[in-house]
Structure 1
Amino acid sequence: MNIEQGFAGDRAAEPAVDEPRRFARFAPGGGRNRLWLIVLAVIAIALVGGFLLLRGGGKAAAPAASPLPRVTFIVPGHQSVAGQISTTGSLAARREMPVGVAGEGGMISQVLVEPGDWVAAGQVLATIDRSVQVQEGASLAAAITVARADAALAQSELDRARALVARGFISKADIDRKTATRDAANARVKVAQAQYGEAGARIGRLAVKAPAAGLVLTRAVEPGQVVSSASGTLFRLAKGGEMELAARLAEQDLARLRVGAPADVTPIGSSRPFRGEIWQMSPVIDAQTRQGVARIALRYDPALRPGGFAAATIRSGSVDAPLLPESAVQSDATGNFVYVIDGANAVQRRAVKVGEVSDSGITVLSGLAGSERVVLSAGAFLNPGDKVIPVRAAARG
Structure 2
Amino acid sequence: MNYESSKWSREAIDDVPVDAEELIRKRKRRRIIVAVVLILLVLVAAWMMMGRGGDAGGEKAAPKMAAGQRGGMPAVTFIVPGRQDVPIMISATGSLAAVRDMPVGIAGEGGRVVRVLVEPGQSVRAGQVLAVVDRSVQAQQASQLAASVDVARADLQLAQNNLQRAESLVGRGFISRADLDQKRATRDAAAARVRVAVAQLNATRAQIGRLDIRAPTNGLVLTRNIEAGQIVGAGSGALFRIAAGGEMELMARLPQSDLARLPVGAQAQVTPVGSSNVYPGVVWQKSPVIDPASRQGVARIRVPLNNEIRPGGFASAQIQAGVERAPLLPESAVLSDSRGSFVYVIGRNDTVERRPVVIGQVSDRGMAIIQGLNGDERVVQVAGAFLSPGQRVRPERAQAQPAR
TM-score category, normalised to shorter length:
0.7 to 0.9
Structure 2 residue 86 is the aligned partner of structure 1 residue 81: yes
Please give the alpha-carbon distance, in whole angstroms, between the structure 2 residues aligned to 1:288 and 1:331.
31
- Structure 2 residue aligned with 1:219: 224
State the 1:220 CA deviation.
1.1
State the 1:232 CA deviation.
1.2
State the 1:360 CA deviation.
2.3
Please give the alpha-carbon distance, in whole angstroms, between the structure 1 residues aligned to 2:99 and 2:366.
35
Please give the alpha-carbon distance, in whole angstroms, between the structure 2 residues aligned to 1:320 and 1:130.
70
Q: Residue deviations 1:63-93, cap 9 Å, x none? A: xxxx666655432221222332221121112
Structure 2 residue 246 is the aligned partner of structure 1 residue 251: no
Normalising by structure 1, report the TM-score.
Answer: 0.75
- Structure 2 residue aligned with 1:233: 238
Q: Residue deviations 1:234-263, cap 9 Å, x none? A: 111222322211212233333333333222
Please give the alpha-carbon distance, in whole angstroms, between the structure 1 residues aligned to 2:282 and 2:155.
67
Cα 1:329–1:229 shift into 2, 3 Å? farther
Q: Which residue identity does 2:300 align to in structure 1?
A: R
Cα 1:179–1:367 shift into 2, 3 Å? same
Match of 2:97, SS? strand
Q: Which residue identity does 1:125 align to in structure 2?
A: L
Please give the alpha-carbon distance, in whole angstroms, between the structure 1 residues aligned to 2:309 and 2:247.
10
- Structure 2 residue aligned with 1:316: 321
Please give the alpha-carbon distance, in whole angstroms, between the structure 2 residues aligned to 1:250 and 1:381.
37
Please give the alpha-carbon distance, in whole angstroms, between the structure 1 residues aligned to 2:264 and 2:186.
68
Q: 1:163 aligns with which of 163, 168, 191?
A: 168
Structure 2 residue 133 is the aligned partner of structure 1 residue 147: no
Match of 1:230, SS? helix
Match of 1:307, SS? coil
For 1:180-199, list aligned pairs within 5 A.
180-199=185-204
Structure 2 residue 284 is the aligned partner of structure 1 residue 279: yes
Q: Which runs of 5+ in 2 are unaligned?
A: 1-71
Cα 1:213–1:385 shift into 2, 3 Å? same
For 1:1-397, list aligned pairs within 5 A.
72-330=77-335, 336-376=341-381, 385=390, 390=395, 392-393=397-398, 395-396=400-401
Match of 2:150, SS? helix
Normalising by structure 2, report the TM-score.
Answer: 0.74
State the 1:152 CA deviation.
1.5
Cα 1:129–1:327 shift into 2, 3 Å? same
Please give the alpha-carbon distance, in whole angstroms, between the structure 2 residues aligned to 1:258 and 1:375.
36
Match of 2:160, SS? helix
Please give the alpha-carbon distance, in whole angstroms, between the structure 2 residues aligned to 1:163 and 1:93.
72
Match of 1:222, SS? coil
State the 1:309 CA deviation.
0.8
Q: Residue deviations 1:21-66, cap 9 Å, x none? A: xxxxxxxxxxxxxxxxxxxxxxxxxxxxxxxxxxxxxxxxxxxxxx
- Structure 1 residue aligned with 2:31: none
Match of 2:236, SS? coil
Q: Which runs of 5+ in 1 are unaligned?
A: 1-66
Structure with higher helix content: 2
Q: Which residue identity does 2:119 align to in structure 1?
A: E
Please give the alpha-carbon distance, in whole angstroms, between the structure 1 residues aligned to 2:379 and 2:146.
92
Q: Which residue identity does 1:161 align to in structure 2?
A: A
Match of 1:283, SS? coil
State the 1:153 CA deviation.
1.8
User: Relative to structure 2, which stretch is displaced further, 133-142 or 361-370?
Assistant: 361-370
User: Relative to structure 2, which stretch is displaced further, 362-371 or 160-169?
Assistant: 160-169
Q: Residue deviations 1:302-361, cap 9 Å, x none? A: 121111111111223432210123344455676544343321444444343332122222
Please give the alpha-carbon distance, in whole angstroms, between the structure 1 residues aligned to 2:202 and 2:338.
75
- Count of residues in correspondence between the two structures: 332
Match of 1:164, SS? helix
Please give the alpha-carbon distance, in whole angstroms, between the structure 2 residues aligned to 1:130 and 1:172.
51
Q: Which residue identity does 2:315 align to in structure 1?
A: A
Q: Which residue identity does 2:131 align to in structure 1?
A: A
- Structure 1 residue aligned with 2:11: none
Q: Residue deviations 1:369-392, cap 9 Å, x none? A: 101123445666766555555555
Please give the alpha-carbon distance, in whole angstroms, between the structure 1 residues aligned to 2:308 and 2:153.
61
User: Relative to structure 2, which stretch is displaced further, 171-180 or 374-383?
Assistant: 374-383
Q: Which residue identity does 1:162 align to in structure 2?
A: E
